[in-house]
């Protein structure tokens, strides 16, 4: 008399595979969400350390923030991150962890490897050139005023002209001047219509659906806002007449 060999039938195997597929479909978005949250938290940590370095710099520099750049060219040129580098322990803090490009190592921006940097400062409201930068302690609404945020531009990889990569950009441009006579600035090299505000956390920077932008305020607290909100508040003509945000900037550079 034959005995039945122990094992799974085809139907049982299919049921097990279906259960595994369902569990994977449920867990995969959760894993991606956890990973995205970790990158955002890491970014907030980086950007807060940049703010603390700026605070230390200002305390040693008559209360003023570093200028956007020192006005020199070539190897003598220094940008805001050069001024605060003595107060930071690692260059990786300048790089947003959500920047995923693994190429473009020869893409240079302002004499630096652009891809390393993922943050920008608001020009010209706080970080000015050739005028003096603002006194950090003189900003009357530090909980509402942008100090640093995720910033970006799109560059062509010189090693592969068909490939474009997202890189950090050192400035967040405002498209206006202060006051009711707002007008767009003439385009600068690298300036984008969105003010170079990045949206790479949970989305894209250069096309919808945009992700979130990590922002540091002058009181050194951080938030992750939707890119559209940051663009509206800090990179549009609307901000010229927003007295709660920008009405005080004529005084803090004196």
For residue 90, tell me if it sits in a domain.
yes
Q: Is residue 201 part of a domain?
A: yes
| pLDDT recorded at residue 195 | 81
| Residue 5, domain member (yes or no) | no
Note if the pTM is more than 0.85. Answer: no
* H helical segments located in the chain: 10-59, 80-84, 227-234, 243-246
Q: Is residue 4 part of a domain?
A: no
Instruction: Find out whether 126 and 104 touch, Cβ atoms under 8 Å.
Output: no
CA 120, CA 230: separation in Å to the nearest integer? 13
pLDDT computed for residue 183 by the predictor? 42
The pLDDT of residue 30 is 58
CA distance 218 to 251: 16
> What pLDDT score was predicted for residue 170?
85
* Structural domain that includes position 85: 10-246
- Residues 183, 176: contact at Cβ < 8 Å? yes
Query: In this predicted model, what pLDDT tens digit does every residue of 35-84 receive, in sequence order?
Result: 678 889 999 999 999 999 999 999 999 999 998 888 887 777 788 988 99
The Cα-based distances of 182 to 133, 172, 240 in angstroms read 21, 17, 6
* Chain Cα centroid distance, residue 65: 19
Q: How far apart are the first and last CA of the chain?
A: 102
Distance CA 148, CA 152 (A): 12
Q: Does residue 125 lie in a domain region? A: yes
How many domains is the chain built from?
A: 1
Task: List pLDDT tens digits, range 201-251.
Answer: 989 999 899 999 999 999 999 999 999 888 877 655 444 444 444 444 444
- What string of DSSP letters covers 126-151? TS-SSSPPPBGGG-S-TTTSEEEEEB
Q: What was the pLDDT predicted at 60?
A: 94
Residue 252 lies in a domain: no
Residues 182-200 pLDDT 10s = 444 445 556 777 888 899 9
Q: How many residues in total does the chain contain? A: 254
Does residue 254 belong to any structural domain of this protein? no
pLDDT at 61: 92
Q: How far is CA 84 from the centre of its chain?
A: 17
Does residue 91 fall inside a structural domain? yes
Condensed to tens digits (0 to 9), the pLDDT of residues 88-134 reads 988 788 888 888 654 434 444 444 545 567 899 887 667 877 777 88
């Amino acid at each position: 008399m034959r005995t039945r060999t122990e094992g799974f039938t085809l139907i049982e195997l299919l049921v097990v595979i279906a259960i595994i597929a369902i569990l994977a479909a449920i867990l995969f978005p959760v894993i991606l969400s956890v990973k995205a949250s970790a990158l955002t938290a890491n970014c907030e940590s980086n950007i807060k350390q940049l703010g603390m370095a700026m605070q230390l710099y200002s305390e040693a520099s008559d209360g003023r923030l570093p200028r956007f750049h020192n006005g020199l060219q070539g190897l003598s040129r220094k940008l805001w991150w050069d001024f605060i580098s003595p107060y930071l322990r690692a260059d990786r803090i300048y790089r947003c962890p959500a920047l995923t490009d693994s190429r473009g190592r020869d893409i240079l921006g302002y004499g630096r490897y652009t891809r390393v940097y993922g943050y920008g400062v608001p020009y010209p409201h706080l970080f000015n050139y050739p005028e003096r930068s603002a006194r950090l302690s003189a900003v009357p609404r530090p909980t509402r005023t942008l100090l640093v945020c995720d910033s970006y531009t799109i560059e062509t990889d010189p090693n592969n002209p068909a490939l474009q990569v997202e890189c950090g950009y050192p400035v967040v441009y405002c498209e206006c001047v202060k006051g009711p006579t707002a007008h767009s600035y003439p385009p600068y090299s690298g300036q984008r219509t969105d003010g170079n505000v990045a949206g790479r956390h949970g989305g894209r920077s250069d096309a919808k659906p945009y992700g979130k932008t990590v922002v540091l305020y002058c009181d050194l607290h951080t938030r992750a806002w939707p890119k559209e909100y940051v663009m509206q508040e800090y990179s549009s003509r609307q901000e010229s007449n927003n007295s709660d945000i920008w009405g005080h900037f004529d005084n803090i550079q004196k």
